[in-house]
Amino acid sequence: MAKKEIEKKGILSNHGIDRNFKTLILEVQKQVEDTRLVLDQPEGKLQNKILTRDDYIDNLKSLIENKCFYSNLKANLGKRELDLIRAINIITANLEKIADFSVNIISQLQYLDNPLFLHKFDYKSLFDEVTSSLELVERSLRKQDINQAFKICRSEQRIDDIFAEQFKLIMDDLRQGNEVENLVTSLFILRYLERMGDQLLNIGEAIIFAGVGEKLKISHIEALEDSMENIDIHGPITNLSIESFLETKSGCRINRIQGQEKADQETGVIFKEGQVDKLEQENKNIQLLEKMKPGLPPRVFGFNKNGKSASILLEFLNGTTLQKGLLESNNRFLDRAMKQLTHDLEDLWTRSKKNKPVHAHYINQTNQRIDDIFRAHPDFKLLEKQIGTHRTLSLNALLDQTHRIEDEIGGAPFSVLIHGDFNIDNVLYDEAEGVIHFIDLHRSRHQDYVQDISVFILSNFRLPVFVSRIRKNINQMALNMYDFGQQFAKNQKDPTFEARLALGLIRSFTTSTRFEFNKEFASTMLLRAVYLMEKLMGYRGQPWEQFTIPRDVLVY
């Protein structure tokens, strides 16, 4: 059933559930707000009001529960409507809990010598978070707005953070040994507010459940930055920090998944927020890839637009990135993964092949990023030099010359559906199932497959890991991809594969330097690009079909 129909048909309004539900939310909101007022100004009659309202809220909860469970409501409903009812039930229970905590807070007040003692701590920010999330509940469920639901979910994290700060302050004070009773009571009060956050997370998840029809566990919330360029980059890493690199990079994913027992029906999800056009593109790309090669991309559970920003809810895929496999030196994994990957690429590329020639414009792509490269490495402009009769060119002049060569070589004779950002950390291998998945597909399109190959090779090369055991595998992976590409070109009768790969590598070597601040390593990459450009220039006049790349240039 389509989202809006739920509203129109008013399955719920027939039985008055929606009215009860709205009332419940309003009452809980009032309860929380009044509790805050009592804490602000402990004198007054509000306390009694809160206790009375608690009974009313309990009644409302039972009423909604009864209607959800025992009415004949469920007789003729489809799954989506049943999901909605289930969600309402969950939300109701959690809202009632929040109201209970309000009462608990009030009853703690009597243990404070001075009710104003609590003002030492930032309970106000906690209330702010709770009340602003409560405001979103009714509307986000009614509109099935996953964006809003996620806002509710995320408030739990913020509430936890604020609580943690206050907790620390209280502990510091406790160590001084004064006002112990007051401090412990304050801690209880703040703890109830923190628990309200947990209920809000349950509420947010229930709304998402109603929206997508599956019980999802939020594994990873990712905010896309405005510049999509930064996505594949995780900051400079050095040889010494592999351990922390492993932890920080994939830690957030793993922690959330492994930290909790997984229920049977739960699917992990990743939530991405970002600009509408980019996420819309990713959504389209995923649909297209799914058609060509089912299971390769993640499933899309929801897509929401909200003005200029949008959010997408993606399946959290099981598996390990190739990059992680490399860093962990998991040789068995790497062998199997590469076999499956090249098999899948062959399949995807053959199926998606369109015979119209296509031009990737590698040197233009390089020129578009040249300012960033020079900003990171001003000396990479390379002055023109002369050694005796031998002259070398500046980087700009080299690129100019190579641009001309690119025109001579021409584009690819056909296009395939490429990944578009084919880094080794955008490829997952699920060893148990033996399947490959692609992630981060916002740049996928029909293009020259050589672009994916060169990006893949460079994402190996540029890993700043120089431990020889790991480096050996990195080099092997780059060479495997090269060999596969060569074979694919041969099968598809693509005569200029090597020459175009040289161009793709020039692009990737050059542009990768802007993220590498280890001067020596960045230089190595630039000099390889220069080497390839000089190689192409020296080859001019001969048939491009016979140009070959020295394998050594692909490995470090």
Sites for other proteins among residues 316-335 (CB under 8 A): none
Q: How far is the CB of 460 from other proteins (least distance, A)?
A: 17
CB nearer other proteins, residue 239 or residue 368:
239
The beta-carbon contacts of 162-170 under 8 Å, at least 24 apart in sequence, are 162/122, 162/125, 162/126, 162/129, 163/126, 163/190, 163/191, 163/193, 163/194, 163/197, 165/122, 166/121, 166/122, 166/123, 166/126, 166/190, 169/120, 169/121, 170/121
Q: In this structure, what token pair is assigned to residue 555? A: 């490995």
CB nearer other proteins, residue 43 or residue 552:
552
Sign of CA dihedral 402, 407, 410, 416: positive
The window from 164-172, 256-264, 330-338, 520-528 that contacts other proteins (CB under 8 A) reads: 520-528
For residue 463, give the nearest of 236, 268, 249, 283 by alpha carbon.
Answer: 236
Alpha carbon distance, N-terminus to C-terminus of the chain:
55
In contact, 262 and 300? CB cutoff 8 Å: no
Rounded-to-integer distance, Cα 46 and Cα 35, Å: 8
CB nearer other proteins, residue 120 or residue 535:
535
Q: Tell me how far CA of residue 169 lies from CA of 117, 122, 176, 187, 474, in angstroms.
A: 14, 10, 11, 10, 48
CB nearer other proteins, residue 51 or residue 397:
397
Q: How many CB atoms lie within 10 A of CB 103?
A: 18
Q: How far is the CB of 453 from other proteins (least distance, A)?
A: 21
Sites for other proteins among residues 361-400 (CB under 8 A): 383-390, 392
Q: Cβ neighbours of residue 291 under 8 Å, at least 6 residues apart?
A: none
CB nearer other proteins, residue 4 or residue 385:
385
For residue 269, give the nearest of 307, 229, 219, 303 by alpha carbon.
Answer: 219
CB nearer other proteins, residue 318 or residue 524:
524
CB nearer other proteins, residue 74 or residue 385:
385
In the list 173, 280, 531, 549, the residue contacting other proteins (rule: CB under 8 A) is 531
Q: How far is the CB of 535 from other proteins (least distance, A)?
A: 7
In contact, 212 and 302? CB cutoff 8 Å: yes
Is residue 469 a contact residue for other proteins (CB under 8 A)? no
Is residue 167 a contact residue for other proteins (CB under 8 A)? no
Q: How far is the CB of 503 from other proteins (least distance, A)?
A: 17
Q: How far is the CB of 395 from other proteins (least distance, A)?
A: 12
CB nearer other proteins, residue 372 or residue 534:
534
Residue appearing with tokens 């001003």? 378
Largest CA distance in the chain: 97
In the list 318, 430, 534, 549, the residue contacting other proteins (rule: CB under 8 A) is 534
Q: How far is the CB of 556 from other proteins (least distance, A)?
A: 9
Q: Quick one: which H or E segment has residue 549?
A: none
Q: How far is the CB of 390 from other proteins (least distance, A)?
A: 4
Q: How far is the CB of 383 from other proteins (least distance, A)?
A: 4
Is residue 535 a contact residue for other proteins (CB under 8 A)? yes
CB nearer other proteins, residue 235 or residue 550:
550
Rounded-to-integer distance, Cα 174 and Cα 190, Å: 15
DSSP states along 81-98: HHHHHHHHHHHHHHHHHH
Q: Partners of 303 in the beta sheet?
A: 312
In the list 519, 527, 543, 545, the residue contacting other proteins (rule: CB under 8 A) is 527
Is residue 462 a contact residue for other proteins (CB under 8 A)? no
Is residue 523 a contact residue for other proteins (CB under 8 A)? yes
CB nearer other proteins, residue 223 or residue 397:
397
Q: Tell me how far CA of residue 356 lies from CA of 353, 365, 413, in angstroms.
A: 9, 21, 7
Is residue 538 a contact residue for other proteins (CB under 8 A)? yes
Q: How far is the CB of 471 from other proteins (least distance, A)?
A: 12
CB nearer other proteins, residue 264 or residue 552:
552
Is residue 542 a contact residue for other proteins (CB under 8 A)? no
Position 403, amino acid: H
In the list 151, 249, 500, 528, the residue contacting other proteins (rule: CB under 8 A) is 528
Tell me the number of residues near other proteins by CB under 8 A.
19
Q: How far is the CB of 392 from other proteins (least distance, A)?
A: 7
Q: How far is the CB of 384 from other proteins (least distance, A)?
A: 6
In contact, 140 and 211? CB cutoff 8 Å: no
Q: How far is the CB of 523 from other proteins (least distance, A)?
A: 7
The window from 108-116, 251-259, 436-444, 526-534 that contacts other proteins (CB under 8 A) reads: 526-534
CB nearer other proteins, residue 183 or residue 553:
553
Q: In this structure, what token pair is assigned to residue 11? A: 């399955």
Interface with other proteins (CB under 8 A)? 383-390, 392, 523, 527-528, 530-531, 534-535, 538, 550, 552
